[in-house]
Amino acid sequence: MAETPTFAIPPSFLGIARRHRDARFVVAGVPLDIGTTNRAGARDGPAAIRRASRMLVDGDHPGFWIDPATLDLADIGDFPLALGDMPGSLRLIEQGASDIAHLVALGGEHGITLPLLRALVRRLGGPVGLVHFDAHVDTWPDNFGQRYAHGSVFYHAIDEGLVDPVRMIQVGIRSPVQRAVWDWTIGQGVTVLSAQQVHASSPDAMAARIREVVGTAPAYLSFDIDVLDPAFAPGTGTPEIGGLASWQAQAILRRLRGVDFRGMDVVEVAPAYDVSEITALAAATVAWEYLALLGTATAPGEPP
C-alpha cells in the first residue's frame, strides 16, 4: 500500500517525481486541441489523466504482478505548443519527442499522433506497424478544409510512409464515413475491425488478429478514448454509440504480449463533459495497462 492517501498523491502520472528524459519509459502531455471538429476541450486531457491516475497506485497489476510506478518511468510534463498555430505546434511536438526512447503520450486531440510518429520513425529508420483503437478511421485527407485536423492523422501517416498500412489494424470503428474514404483505407491494406465485430467475438480472438496483422516488427499503439462507448467515456469530443466497453478494451490490451511496441498515445479526453472522471480514469488505465504489459521486457522495445 502507498503511504500517501489517494487524494494526496502528487499530480504527475502515477504520482512519480522522476523527470529525466532518458528513462526507459517517459510520460509527456500534449495539450493540443485546435484541430478538433466537434466539442473542444482535449487540451485539458493530460492534466485530467494525471489526476485520475492516482487511483492506480495502490499496488501491483493483478495479472502481470508488476507496479508500473516502480519501473524506470518519468513524467516530464507537457510539450510546448505554438498557440493557435497547427503546423508550428506539430513541429514543436515532433521536436519534443525526438530524443525520447519510449514515449507514453497523454493527449490532446488525435492530431498529436502524426508528429509523434514522425519522431519515432526518424529514430527507427523505417515505418512502424500500428494498433489503432478508435470509433473513427481518421483517414480523411482533411476535415472541413483543415489539412491537419484530428480526423486526418492516419491519412498523412500512411501518405508520408510513417506507417506500414499492411501492418496497421483499426479496432472499434463504427462512425459514419464516406465510401471513398473507406475504400481508400481498405485499398491501402489496412485491416479494420468494427465495434460490432469486437462485440461478436472475444478478447482472445481480437488480440490474436492484432498480433497476426502487426507481426513482430516495431509497432505503435494509438488509443482514442472514443473507441469506448459514451456510457464508459462520455468526456470526449466526438462520441459515437455502440462502442467497446472498458473491460473489452482492457482485456484485449492485456493479451497483446509479444507485440514490439515502441511507443503509445491515449487521446481525445475532454474532461469538461464528464464530471465523474470516468473517461480520464479509463485513459489513465490504458496507459497503466500498457506499461504493465511492457514492464516485464528485458530492454526497451523488446517483447516480453
pLDDT digits (tens, 9 = 90+) for 43-75: 999 999 999 999 999 899 999 999 999 999 999
Q: What's the grid cell of residue 216?
A: 513482430
**Residue 4, pLDDT score:** 84
**Cα–Cα distance between 23 and 33 in angstroms, integer?**
27
**Residue 258, pLDDT score:** 92
pLDDT-based confidence at 300, cuts 50/70/90?
very low
Average pLDDT over residues 233-247: 98
94-99 contact pairs (CB < 8 A, 24+): 94/118, 94/119, 95/119, 96/28, 97/28, 98/122, 98/123, 99/21
Question: Domain coordinates of the chain in residue numbers?
Answer: 6-294
Q: Which CATH number fits domain 6-294: 3.50.30.40, 3.40.800.10, 3.90.1150.10, 3.40.50.300?
A: 3.40.800.10
pLDDT of 301 over the 50 cut: no
Question: What is the pTM assigned to this prediction?
Answer: 0.95
Q: pLDDT averaged over the chain?
A: 94
User: 101-147 pLDDT, tens per residue?
Assistant: 999 999 999 999 999 999 999 999 999 999 999 999 999 999 888 88
Residue found under cell 511496441: 261
**Residue 297, pLDDT score:** 56
Q: What's the grid cell of residue 86?
A: 497547427
Provide the percentage of residues in the chain whose pLDDT is more than 70.
97
